[in-house]
Every structure is written in structure tokens, then in C-alpha cells.
Amino acid sequence: MIGGVSATQLAAEFGTPLFVIDEADFFGRATAWRDALQGAFGDRAGTVYYAGKSFLCKEITRWLDVVGIGLDVCTGGELAVAKAANFPMSRVEMHGNNKSESEIRSAIEAGVATIVIDSFMEIDRVGAIAKELGKTQRVFLRLTPGVEAHTHEFISTAHEDVKFGFSIASGAAWKAIAEVSSCESLELAGFHSHIGSQIFNSEGFAAAAQKLIALLAQYRDEYKKELPELDLGGGYGIAYLPDQETLVPATVLTELAAVVKAQCAAHGLAVPMISIEPGRAIVGPTTTTLYTVGTTKDVTLDDGAIRRYVSVDGGMSDNIRPALYDAEYHAIIANRSSDAPTVNTRVVGKHCESGDIVIRAIDLAADCGPGDLLAIPATGAYGRSMASNYNHIPRPAVVAVIDGKARLIVRRESHEDLLALDI
């Protein structure tokens, strides 16, 4: 059951593969992040910008508006979703390391609250387009604080070999501050950093915040005024497997607030408004993918052991994360219970790639076979949003469930949809 609707009923009504989003869970998580930011930072709480890249459609945008949080978009396409849903542009932040001139123009024309500038060329571009449109655009500078976050640990590095942002250590950030400050059509509102994803403690965020606050103090000393906002990005970790635990918003933000407040006090700075950009932590756990099993096959491994391949009706086209990041998932047989003994199983998709793996190794009931439904939890983030049409497979539908009712929020693509692109 998801949101009071059975998996069997969902599969029968909407087909598989299917993304099923638990609407109440989404509201619960979005509200928890909003309230945790408020609780930790009080009147210094800025905005929770939901990272639209994790999963965005018009209905999600409507839900964000109901909760009263903001939206981080990083392309003209994501901005177009926000516009189509009449999402308030005063709560939209525009990211991207290579925004085109037309994306910058539509963002400024639409009136997005903030553009996060990522390169020197972009300072000139955003400045010129804002000037041409007769506007002063509020901007953040995306900075690389030299904190590299991995799944479970972080390491501080002096050198940052990434395509995003301006390095603090090399002096690029300081030069960017000077350039933005001398541009009349830009208003520097603060700094931004995003240190990575699937982070399970507050230390990496705190280390980044310390570097940014030190730079705020340097800014105050040089420019004799203080910047109003810090955006500390997203990346809060969630559980994908039964033995993992999703970060608790209030815990991580309270720890972060203690460091931010202490650092600001040490530098004699007022605490700026603190904003964050969780994507996965809001939408990831809310969604389950339902697949139908098509075939099974046993192969004998070098050591004589048997591995069972269970093939489902989707795969890397609706979840590229295992192939891209070795991401791990769990599966549950969702149409019945089984007392059968388990067998070492690899759940794979239907694409023409050996790497088309949904779950590399799982003990699954030996009687799992054609027609069974497999439910894969925690597929809400970077699943549908990274989906492709590889092998001309139409992308799955997204269904929202709440209080025993299911409704389509993104329809399934059809072969006609795909053929419609051919000239």
C-alpha cells in the first residue's frame, strides 16, 4: 500500500513502470525542512529553495507554493515549469554553470529573486542583460569553499578541481566580488556554496559555512557593509536501503546554526539570512517505482554459485543512478507475500547494456517471477528527472497518492510522443 492504494491497483490502473509519489509524505518533508530552518535560525531563517533538478513538474511546483517554500531552477526548462505553474518568481533562484543569454534574459524578465553567478563571463552577461532590460538584478556568487563532500565523510582541500563556482583559495572569489560590486546593474546579495550530495552529517556544511563567513567578514572590512544572505546549498542524505537512516532536518540544521552563529560572533558580523537547497531530502523518499517482472534467468558464476537475473520492464531509462554512481536500492515484491526461500538476485532492466542494473545484489524470494510487481523505494530524486528515452522507451508516468486516492500528475509518454519529434 502506498498512500492507502495497493500496488496491484496502481499497476492495473496506470501500468508499469510507474513512479508513485506519496503526496502527504512530500508535504511532511517540505514542511519539516521549512520549520527546521525557522527553528534553527529564527529571524535569520532565509528560504528553503527546493532543488527542482531532483524532480519537477507543475503539480510539484504547486505543492511548494502551498508549503510556502522557494524553488531553485538551473535551466530555462525548469524556469518554464515554474512560470507555467504561476509560481511566485520572488521565491525563485536561478542556477547553472552555463546559462545561455536567452535563459538569463527570461529569468530577469520573469523577475526571479536571485541569479547565482558561476563564472566571470557570466558576471558580464548578467550585468549586460540586466542593464539592457533596465533592471538591477540581485545575485549570489557561487563559491567553492575547498570542502569536498563524499557520501559519508568530507575532506577539506586547498585546490578545487570542479566546473562550478569561484574558488576562494585561489583568489577568484575575491576578484569576482570586486567585479560584481563595480557593476551597476547587479546587486550582490550574498554567497552560495553546494558541497555535494548524500551527506550524512553537518560537519561538511559547517566547514563550508566557516569559509563563507570568513569571506563575509573580509567583505565587510573592505566594502564597509555586510551582505544579507548565505545560501548553503543542498545535499542532505536520505536512506535508500533498509539499514540506512535519512538525516533529520532539525538535527542537522540546529548543529549548523550553532556553528554559523559562533562564527559570525567571532567575526563581529550580524548573522545573515541562511538559505538552503534540499532536493533529494524532500522528494527522494516520497516516491516508489513499481516495475513488472518479465523474465528470470539463472547464471552460474565462476565459483559455481548461482545468480538469478530478474528483468523488469524499465531500468536505466527511468533510473540511471546505479549506472552513473553505483547507487544502491532495495526491492520488495509488492503484489503478494512470499514464504519462499531467498536466492541471490540481480534486478536488471530491459535495455541493451550490461550495466542496465537496478539492484546489483539482493536476496529475493525464489518464486519471484513473471507478472510479479517489484517496488523500489526512494526513487523520487534524480529518477524521473534524469530519465531518458534510450531504446525508444517512453518515460514512465508519475502518480500522486493520498488518502486512498491516486491521480496522474505526469502522464506516461507514448510511442506517438516520441515519433512526433521525427521530421
Ligand X SMILES: Cc1ncc(COP(=O)(O)O)c(C=O)c1O
**Enzyme catalytic residues:** 352
Q: Tell me, by CB under 6 A, how many residues bind ligand X.
A: 17
Q: What is the DSSP string of 348-401?
A: E-SSS-TT-EEEEEEEEETT--TT-EEEEES--SSSGGG---GGGPPPPEEEEE
CA distance 190 to 176: 12
For ligand X, the binding residues in 145-174 under the rule CB under 6 A are none
| Distance of closest approach, residue 250 Cβ to ligand X, in angstroms | 17
Of the candidates 341, 314, 213, 350, the one whose C-alpha atom is nearest the C-alpha of residue 270 is: 213
252 backbone dihedrals φ, ψ, rounded to 5°: -65, -35
Chain residues 82-101 in contact with ligand X, contact rule CB under 6 A: 95
Under the binding rule (CB under 6 A), the answer on residue 207 touching ligand X is no
Q: What separation in angstroms does the CA of 148 have from each of 7, 131, 285, 421?
A: 40, 36, 25, 41
User: Could you tell me which of 265, 346, 266 has the C-alpha nearest to residue 310?
Assistant: 346
347 binds ligand X (CB under 6 A): no
Closer to ligand X by Cβ: residue 22 or 277: 277
Query: Residue 204, interface with ligand X (CB under 6 A)?
Result: no
Under rule CB under 6 A, residue 51 binds ligand X: yes
54 contributes a contact to ligand X by CB under 6 A: yes
Strands 405-410 vs 397-402: parallel, antiparallel or unpaired: antiparallel
Q: Are 21 and 57 in contact (CB under 8 A)?
A: no
**175: helix, strand or coil:** helix
Min dist. Cβ of residue 49 to ligand X (A): 8
Q: Pick between residue 18 and residue 381 the one whose CB is nearest to ligand X.
A: 381
Asked if 235 touches ligand X (CB under 6 A), the answer is yes
- Return the range that interacts with ligand X (CB under 6 A); candidates 32-40, 82-90, 210-218, 231-239: 231-239
Closer to ligand X by Cβ: residue 164 or 309: 164
- Dist. CA 393–CA 380, nearest whole Å: 19
Element (H, E) at 39: helix 23-41
Interaction between residue 34 and ligand X (CB under 6 A): no
Answer for which of 378, 381, 398, 406 binds ligand X (CB under 6 A) is: 381
Minimum gap (Å) between residue 16 Cβ and ligand X: 25
Q: Please give the backbone phi and psi of residue 237, each rounded to the nearest 5 degrees, phi first.
A: -80, 150
Query: Which residue's CB is nearer to ligand X, number 17 or number 70?
Result: 70
3-state secondary structure of 402: strand
Is the peptide bond preceding residue 17 cis, with omega within 30 degrees of 0? yes
Asked if 234 touches ligand X (CB under 6 A), the answer is yes
* Cβ closest to ligand X, residue 119 vs residue 185: 119
Nearer to ligand X among residue 281 and residue 357 (C-beta): 281
* x/- letters, 275..304, toward ligand X (CB under 6 A): --xxxxx-----------------------
Q: Which stretch binds ligand X (CB under 6 A): 211-219, 272-280, 325-333, 383-391?
A: 272-280
Choose between 204 and 279: whose C-beta lies nearer to ligand X: 279
CB of 281 to ligand X, least distance (A): 6
Q: How far is CA 236 from CA 195, 281, 286, 341, in A?
A: 10, 6, 15, 36
User: Per-residue string for binding with ligand X, 180-199, x by CB under 6 A?
Assistant: --------------x--x--
Using CB under 6 A as the binding rule, whether residue 233 contacts ligand X is answered as yes
Which long-range contacts link 222-225 to residues 24+ away (Cβ below 8 Å)?
223/181
Q: Which residues bind ligand X (CB under 6 A)?
A: 51, 53-54, 72, 95, 194, 197, 233-236, 277-281, 381
